[in-house]
Amino acid sequence: MRLMVIGGGGREHAIIKKLKENPTVTEIFALPGNGGIARDATCVPIGAKDISAIVDFAVREHIDYAVVAPDDPLVLGCVDALKEKGIPCFGPRANAAIIEGSKVFAKDLMRRYGIPTAACETFDDYESAAAYVDTLSAPIVVKADGLALGKGVVIAQSMDEAKQALAEMMLDGKFGASGARVVIEEFLTGPEVSVLAFTDGATIVPMVSSMDHKRALDGDQGLNTGGMGTVAPNPYYTDEIAETCMRTIFRPTIDAMRAEGRPFKGCLYFGLMLTPDGPKVIEYNCRFGDPETQVVLPLLESDLFTIMRAVTDGTLDKVEVRFRDESACCVILASEGYPASYKKGYPITLPERHEGDIFIAGAKLAQDGTLLTDGGRVLGATCTAPTLREAVDKAYRLADSISFENAFCRRDIGARALMAKER
Ligand code: AMP
Ligand code: GLY
């Protein structure tokens, strides 16, 4: 089987490594992949948003199966375009990817189907949005409607800050069309949990839960990032909470999407907050999370390719999706300055032999084959172990055995989870 994976980050590297475990997989192409993924797949310099080039490549290369991992191509209809050419895909069609592509759509869906989430109002002009802010008290949560590279959410600590965020989104066009509409929502509190789930549109199978660490610096300080590290499972996510989420959030969401004529097939990501009033949806993503995938897939015992094909075929109820009863920790090594400005192009030294996985996110190969830093998040060091404490220690040992100039990581990935466990 000749596979194609669209995307080029740590998440895609984790997916590719897992797909390779299936003996029928003979070749994997990564579009565009990166210098580290090149060890595990054939990288092709086609951007993840270049849908027509992706489709041409798939047809020309007789691709048997495609995995579309990032949000942009999914929202742009990459799966629709590939399916039109008869190429089976993992990932939702554009009419279902809208669950991430438009926060207004997602909030409206939840309101109409009674799925618990923060109360909100939607606005498409600045004046009414600003007037609404005057009726609230801080903190105020302002969200751009569309995709904004994970930067479209502002938790404003004052009315002025909220209005400034609105002005940037709605008047200055900071996120282009994505900010033309905004959602202003109630500020929720409680531990956050990420749950990725396989779904074929009818059956939904949640994966092991995880906890992201979104802020750049220790103690949840600094700017919001794509994620600086993850642990799985998330100790706040008890069996009882999982049962509640299945009944009040997961099933209702899948059923709602089907009822709307938008069956969701692929990986649906639930960003949840465990509030004093029960679990609520903070956000949906139409794809695997990153770096969540870098802890979730290493714990997957069942065969990923078999599960993915069952999702595509609508037979997810027929396959086994089993996770090892262990813990995992992923520490992200980033370039100093991320998520703002940072330098790149530094050689990366990796240990010759190591336990665990090194998932490369932002790196390229120099002419002489040296791996050079090429992004904000450079790589993820993931280890699994019978206990969370051991997984965290091992992941840090692995991270500390890797070096490049200007590297930084958070030193407290897993600390909150360990505290919750030992409470
Ligand atoms: P997102 O980009 O949607 O993942 O949001 C970024 C972060 O903002 C989330 O991980 C939460 O920590 C926070 N957040 C989003 N919505 C709310 C809310 N309604 N109340 C409190 N925090 C929120
Ligand atoms: N780690 C959060 C995300 O993938 O959106």
- pLDDT tens for residues 363-389? 999 999 999 999 999 999 999 999 999
What's the pLDDT band for 262 if we cut at 50, 70, 90? very high
10 lines ligand 2 (CB under 6 A): no
Q: Residues of the chain with pLDDT > 90: what percent?
A: 94
100 lines ligand 2 (CB under 6 A): no
Q: What's the gap between Cα 119 and its chain centre?
A: 24
Atom of ligand 1 nearest to the CA of 118: 19
For 398-408, what is the mean pLDDT?
97
Q: What is residue 178's predicted lDDT score, i.e. its pLDDT?
A: 86
- pLDDT tens for residues 75-134? 999 999 999 999 999 999 999 999 999 999 999 999 999 999 999 999 999 999 999 999
For 350-357, what is the mean pLDDT?
96
Quote the ligand 2 centre to 59 CA distance (angstroms). Answer: 31
292 lines ligand 2 (CB under 6 A): yes
Q: What is residue 122's predicted lDDT score, i.e. its pLDDT?
A: 93
Q: Residues of the chain with pLDDT > 70: what percent?
A: 100
Beta-carbon contacts of residue 10 (< 8 Å; ≥ 6 apart)? 290, 291, 293, 294, 332, 359, 360, 361, 377, 379, 380
For 1-6, what is the mean pLDDT?
98
User: Contacts for 134-141 with beta carbons within 8 Å, 24 or more apart?
Assistant: 134/159, 136/162, 136/184, 138/162, 139/187, 140/184, 140/187, 141/184, 141/185, 141/186, 141/187
* Residues 359 and 333 sit within 8 Å (Cβ to Cβ): no
Report the residue among 153, 183, 228, 287 best suited for mutation to probe ligand 1: largest number of ligand atoms under 8 A from its CB.
Answer: 153
Q: What is residue 385's predicted lDDT score, i.e. its pLDDT?
A: 98
What's the pLDDT band for 179 if we cut at 50, 70, 90? confident
What's the pLDDT band for 180 if we cut at 50, 70, 90? confident
Q: What is residue 235's predicted lDDT score, i.e. its pLDDT?
A: 97
Beta-carbon contacts of residue 167 (< 8 Å; ≥ 6 apart)? 126
Q: What is residue 290's predicted lDDT score, i.e. its pLDDT?
A: 97
pLDDT at 150 over 90: no
pLDDT at 314 over 90: yes
> HSE of 57 in the Cβ direction (CA atoms, 13 Å)?
25
Q: Which range, of 7-11, 146-150, 402-406, averages the lowest pLDDT?
A: 146-150
Q: What is residue 42's predicted lDDT score, i.e. its pLDDT?
A: 98
Quote the ligand 1 centre to 228 CA distance (angstroms). Answer: 16
* Residues 416 and 231 sit within 8 Å (Cβ to Cβ): no
Quote the ligand 1 centre to 282 CA distance (angstroms). Answer: 6
pLDDT at 51 over 80: yes
What's the pLDDT band for 422 if we cut at 50, 70, 90? confident
Atom of ligand 1 nearest to the CA of 212: 10
If you take atom 6 of ligand 1, which residue's CA is the nearest one?
153
pLDDT at 177 over 90: no
What's the pLDDT band for 9 if we cut at 50, 70, 90? very high
Report the residue among 282, 285, 287 best suited for mutation to probe ligand 1: largest number of ligand atoms under 8 A from its CB.
Answer: 282
Q: What is residue 173's predicted lDDT score, i.e. its pLDDT?
A: 87
If you take atom 4 of ligand 2, which residue's CA is the nearest one?
289
Q: How far apart are CA 380 and CA 333, in angstroms?
A: 6
188 lines ligand 1 (CB under 6 A): yes
* Residues 392 and 414 sit within 8 Å (Cβ to Cβ): yes
pLDDT at 149 over 80: no
Determine the residue type at 376: G
What does pLDDT average to over the chain? Answer: 96
Ligand with an atom nearest the CA of residue 294: 2
